[in-house]
Structure 1
Amino acid sequence: MADLFFHTPLRPKFTRRPHRRHQNRRSRMVRPRGSRLSRDVRSSLSPRIHRLRPARPRYSVSTQYPMAQLFRAFLLKALHGWSHETALVEYLQQRPSLGEQLGSETLPDQSTLWRTWNQRFTTEVQETIQKAAQTILVKAEMAGVDVPRSPPRTINRLDENDEDTALNDQEVLSKTDKVVEEIQRVAYPSFSLHRGESREIHTNSFWDLQTYLGLRENLAANEGARSFTLESDRERTPLGHTHRSSLRELSIGEVRGMYREAVGRLIDRLAETNEFYRAGTVAIDITEDDPFTGDRAGHESEIIGTKEKTDEYAYQWATVQLVGNAVPLVLDARPVRKGDTRLEIVRDLLDSAEEMVMVDDVLMDREFDSQHVLEEISSRRLQYVVPKRMRTSEKETARQLCEHDIDRQSVDRGLHLGDDEWHETTLVYRRKENSEHTDYRQYSVFMTNYETEAIGKYGSRWEIESGYKSIKRFMAATTSKNFVLRFFYFAFACLLYSIWRSVDLLVQVELAGEYDRPPVVTANSVLTLLKKQTGIG
């Protein structure tokens, strides 16, 4: 953990905003800059750390420790959740190398730390340290990095005159229970099955079972249906084979239509608050389903393979998600079949996204660095940031930057579209922090059709990767190769994820009057309450 810190039914389409393309696009060079906290962590803090200035000391004894070192020390203390300075002192004494990373060869003693926190740091600084620690813990945990403790659900307000501003667990759980019940009524009616008039099992019991399967890790339909029958208070529940066969009768288009309607209803509910805006940055990406082996007969057009060169193969799904300062929702999902071009995928997903929200920026990874994809985004008057795969010319430019010790440079580039048509973009070369390489591989290259500073937004794209980890946690297990069934499992997991993040926003707004990106409601809490409200809790 120390290494982590110290290296620290369809809606009307929205009218698109005018393109804010910049005019001055001259080549620029920027000399090296130092930064401890990553951009995505710094930008999530309010007020930002680098704008803070500690209060003047209220005691006369001078200190030899710079404020930056003390700030880092207390951030380490907050990361571990220690109540007293003694634990921090003992921890640092046992790890002398951390003193150097803190910025000093000597370590402050317990009394110095106590005076700094209680007499020198303002309430604003104290709260910022707590918020920084929470942000780091949340992002590290979502990225799969080992953390010393689970992220706190709340930030305790340190104002002595406002003891009731912290959100306690009981308040959060009580409000979450009510919000989950409401959101369930909002989202689930969007889903339906092909069933006759003489049905004896209520359709909602199928969605209850699907939610139940998402509660348990690696729980397949047969075993899950048996457990669900025992735990549910419903008179009749579907058996595993009935559940699967009902889902297989759906088409991909029907699943996507039901999903978009459900998310649209969620957005309508969120839009009733002042903390959700139908606008923001979206990220488009492709993820793999769980891989499998065996006979591919009948699935040749659906199987793409895996990103790793193995004998396994897998279906692939593409999504468009809200990222950045907005509540992270999966707006749409679609399969990726053989023959689907990246342009077709991007066009399809952006059509869906723009029916729900006003898109400002589009983030994608380098597999979408096609000039035709970029032209499609620009033609919609949207801004993009996309990393570029390095070809010969980019490698040569990076070598020259390395030789001249230049951290950053931007150059204009025309990308050929064919028939004397070109797409204009800006290439931004940026040196990676703490790179292990000494040649051109020190640099990353990004493409953007906006100000070069916009590449800082790309840090928001990590949320789509962490989101995928949560989504796959919500997926029911299956050994079936049925394309529709697997896609439904993925889409429903995306819905559970979006429900979780929607519930978190609504709970925060109800209790605190504002939305802070680190969730105060855990996914487990939401799923447990969903389980309870399906009649099995």
Structure 2
Amino acid sequence: MSPSEPSTHLGKQASEILNEGTDWVTLGNQLDVTRLKHLDGYPEWHPSSPFRPMFLAYLWAKVEDESLSGIPERLEEQPELAEAFGFDPDNLPSESTCKPCRLDDRFDDLQRTVKNTEKHIRKVAAKRGSPIGHRIRGAVSHTEQNPSPSKRTTDRLLRKTGRKVLKEIDSVVIPSIQLPRPENTIYDDDELLVQEAIGAINHEAANQAGESLGDKKNPDPDIKEPFSHEGPEDGDPFYADGPTGETLLESVKEMSVEEIATQLNFALRKTYTRAKPRLRDLENDNGSRFGTRAKIALDITYVAYYGEREEMVWLQGAPDDKEYRWCHKFATAVIVGQNTHYVVGVCPLGSTEYANTDAYPGEEQSYYVGDVARRLLSIADEYVNVRMVYADREFHSTDVIHTLEERGLNYVIPAVKNDRIRRICDRFDQLKRGYNEPHDTPLYVDCGLSMYGPVKHDVSNTAVEYNLVVLPPDEDDEVHEEGSPQPFLTNLDVSDEIALDRRWATEQMEKYQDRAAIENSYSSIKEAASWTTSKEFEVRWFHFAFGCVVYNMWLLVDFLTQERIKVIETREKPRIKLSRFTNWVEKELGELL
């Protein structure tokens, strides 16, 4: 039986019922527990509540991690749920009937069924997008009567709850990725991913991760002589150590670049959709963060390459401001929010075989940034309703603006200082309107400017229009060179006519800085990725994309843990440090083995 198959009749029923949006009222109404009644620890004449409603309430409390003694109070607040279980909402059981010792005693012969069903319901609900198993509790307001917990208490809550949340996420993410395996392999199907995870959290290469896996799986090996390589039937202790690092590399090499993109983007999607129900309930209705419309940042990450360049098809020249000459480039789409910068899409750059370069007029390139934007937005569009795009400077192109306008998206992009824009910046002090006063901002706006360039399935000098907004230099600006005015491209309705217009335009451009924290995320992603000396691009691409998955899991565990302990804060950095999270992952992997 595979881990995804239900091990109980009740679990099988749940699998048939659970779907996106299925709640406990629907599940409670449809679950049939008749065949379990003979295992009721109380005789039929016992004055306590009947079997079906009590058992379903018990199962519900276990799945939702609710206090058993609080069942009557919570069902009183949810009469529809009480009816679904079979209770009379006006005649609910007493608190004493629901004491943990009494319920555990009553259902003692059903503990294994409850435990297996609870685990299966959570897993299936998470995979299919049901709110069951992760009900939103929301943040609580801290008052004199309900003070904020101490740092020590919060830290203990994080420790206790974080690893529990991590176990739930393991069951969602790991099954999303399937690596190729030869027939009749001896190691389990998830051991290659465990090895990759070990490499990611320890920043090890595949072979080192293979050795670490062997240490975990077989810490006290039985060495027998003579040493044999014929197979496990000869008692070779090697097979108790799991697959080697070379096995992992060979498996990844069998996958195409597109196959890796499909699988890893699916895993990223799972991590984000796992958090989405909570994010939606915790935010305002105006969609300013993760609601009906999201803000997305498009970025290109550079991973340095120092080895031999022979036959390295995907290798790209590094930007002039980097200390290295060659690199691999990976593009990402990231949600822009408060302390929750999830990667929702990732793709590699640098090969004409992967990029649709034939669809462009003119000279062939290794990739077109407009096509990168299309690819990332298409991935994000599958489960995020995008309303605003903040892209880095490399996305300053006719093709990108054409793409964003075609999709009806607003955008803010730092402008490349071509000859035209550089002249405007050089004359900023003469062109700007407004004053250096508390309620005014000097800036320059020029609307309806034209840009020409190649566009997919169009001509090489396609025209697009944009608005240019130039802000004064800012010492905290990390995007433009020091002391330089800050030019941005946008299609927002901006103006510098009056002070109110200037303030609004400035606020919209400065929101680009909301994405500044995302820059820190890329160093974290690199910390969460295995390294390799392999020249095979598929290996390097898989390591980076898997690092994005680990990074998302870190953010997700941090956010869900805060939600569980009811201490949610807007923070520049996650409450749980990456190093602490990777320690948890390492311990969790040890338990999995």
Choose the corresponding residue for 1:320, options 333, 340, 346: 333
1:297: how far off? 2.9
Choose the corresponding residue for 1:227, options 212, 220, 235: 212
Tell me the equivalent position of 1:424: 465
Structure 2 CA distance for aligned equivalents of residues 415 and 231 of structure 1: 61
Structure 2 CA distance for aligned equivalents of residues 398 and 272 of structure 1: 45
1:516: how far off? 2.9
* Pair 1:269-2:265 in alignment: no
Choose the corresponding residue for 1:526, options 570, 581, 591: 581
Structure 2 CA distance for aligned equivalents of residues 238 and 181 of structure 1: 23
Tell me the equivalent position of 1:215: 201
Choose the corresponding residue for 2:558, options 504, 523, 527: 504
1:324: how far off? 2.9
What are the superposed Cα offsets for residues 239-272 of structure 1, whole Å, 9 maximum, x if unpaired? Answer: 1111111111111111111112212222332123
1:395: how far off? 2.9
1:231: how far off? 2.4
**Contact 1:176 1:503 (C-alpha < 8 Å) held by counterparts:** yes
For residues 372 and 365 of structure 1, do their structure 2 counterparts lie closer, same or farther at Cα, with a shift above 3 Å needed? same
The higher relative CO (CA closer than 8 Å, separation ≥ 6) is in 1
Choose the corresponding residue for 1:344, options 371, 377, 380: 371
Moved more, 368-377 or 177-186: 368-377
Tell me the equivalent position of 2:492: 450
What are the superposed Cα offsets for residues 460-505 of structure 1, whole Å, 9 maximum, x if unpaired? Answer: 2223311100000111121111100000000010000001111111
Structure 2 CA distance for aligned equivalents of residues 355 and 492 of structure 1: 20
Tell me the equivalent position of 2:311: 298
Structure 2 CA distance for aligned equivalents of residues 278 and 535 of structure 1: 40
- 1:277-296 alignment, distance < 5 Å: 277=291, 279-294=293-308, 296=309
- 1:484-503 alignment, distance < 5 Å: 484-503=538-557
Q: What amino acid is aligned across from residue 392 of structure 2 in structure 1?
A: D
**Contact 1:508 1:516 (C-alpha < 8 Å) held by counterparts:** no
Structure 1 CA distance for aligned equivalents of residues 154 and 482 of structure 2: 50
**Contact 1:285 1:319 (C-alpha < 8 Å) held by counterparts:** yes
Q: What amino acid is aligned across from residue 340 of structure 1 in structure 2?
A: Y
Q: What amino acid is aligned across from residue 380 of structure 1 in structure 2?
A: R
1:215: how far off? 1.9
**Contact 1:232 1:534 (C-alpha < 8 Å) held by counterparts:** no
Cα RMSD of the aligned pairs, angstroms, is 2.9
* Pair 1:334-2:347 in alignment: yes
1:223: how far off? 2.3
1:224: how far off? 2.5
1:422: how far off? 3.9
Tell me the equivalent position of 1:477: 531
* Pair 1:192-2:192 in alignment: no
For residues 344 and 171 of structure 1, do their structure 2 counterparts lie closer, same or farther at Cα, with a shift above 3 Å needed? same
- Secondary structure at the counterpart of residue 175 of structure 2: helix
Choose the corresponding residue for 1:378, options 370, 392, 405: 405
For residues 345 and 211 of structure 1, do their structure 2 counterparts lie closer, same or farther at Cα, with a shift above 3 Å needed? same
- Secondary structure at the counterpart of residue 186 of structure 1: helix
- Secondary structure at the counterpart of residue 415 of structure 1: strand
**Contact 1:474 1:497 (C-alpha < 8 Å) held by counterparts:** yes
Structure 1 CA distance for aligned equivalents of residues 265 and 208 of structure 2: 30
Tell me the equivalent position of 1:101: none
**Contact 1:395 1:440 (C-alpha < 8 Å) held by counterparts:** no
1:398: how far off? 2.7
Q: What amino acid is aligned across from residue 210 of structure 1 in structure 2?
A: E
- TM-score for the superposition, normalised by structure 2: 0.59
Structure 2 CA distance for aligned equivalents of residues 322 and 525 of structure 1: 23
**Contact 1:446 1:455 (C-alpha < 8 Å) held by counterparts:** yes
**Contact 1:282 1:361 (C-alpha < 8 Å) held by counterparts:** yes
Residue ranges of structure 2 left out of the alignment (5+ in a row): 1-19, 21-138, 220-239, 283-289, 352-365, 434-441, 454-458, 495-504
Structure 1 CA distance for aligned equivalents of residues 476 and 141 of structure 2: 38
Structure 1 CA distance for aligned equivalents of residues 275 and 311 of structure 2: 42
**Contact 1:399 1:440 (C-alpha < 8 Å) held by counterparts:** no
- 1:381-420 alignment, distance < 5 Å: 381-403=408-430, 407-417=442-452
1:193: how far off? 1.7
**Contact 2:272 2:344 (C-alpha < 8 Å) held by counterparts:** no
For residues 250 and 405 of structure 1, do their structure 2 counterparts lie closer, same or farther at Cα, with a shift above 3 Å needed? closer
Higher Cα radius of gyration: 2
**Contact 1:157 1:165 (C-alpha < 8 Å) held by counterparts:** no
Choose the corresponding residue for 2:163, options 177, 180, 191: 177
Residue ranges of structure 1 left out of the alignment (5+ in a row): 1-11, 13-154
**Contact 2:213 2:241 (C-alpha < 8 Å) held by counterparts:** no
Equivalent pairs counted in the alignment come to: 379
Structure 1 CA distance for aligned equivalents of residues 482 and 314 of structure 2: 38
**Contact 1:413 1:426 (C-alpha < 8 Å) held by counterparts:** yes
For residues 326 and 225 of structure 1, do their structure 2 counterparts lie closer, same or farther at Cα, with a shift above 3 Å needed? same
Structure 2 CA distance for aligned equivalents of residues 513 and 435 of structure 1: 30
Tell me the equivalent position of 1:140: none
Structure 2 CA distance for aligned equivalents of residues 244 and 305 of structure 1: 26
Structure 2 CA distance for aligned equivalents of residues 194 and 440 of structure 1: 50
For residues 443 and 499 of structure 1, do their structure 2 counterparts lie closer, same or farther at Cα, with a shift above 3 Å needed? same
Structure 2 CA distance for aligned equivalents of residues 290 and 440 of structure 1: 25
1:196: how far off? 3.2
1:514: how far off? 4.5
Q: Sequence identity of aligned pairs in percent?
A: 25
Q: What amino acid is aligned across from residue 317 of structure 2 in structure 1?
A: G
Structure 1 CA distance for aligned equivalents of residues 256 and 342 of structure 2: 23
- Secondary structure at the counterpart of residue 304 of structure 2: coil
* Pair 1:356-2:394 in alignment: no
1:354: how far off? 0.8
Choose the corresponding residue for 1:240, options 212, 227, 245: 245
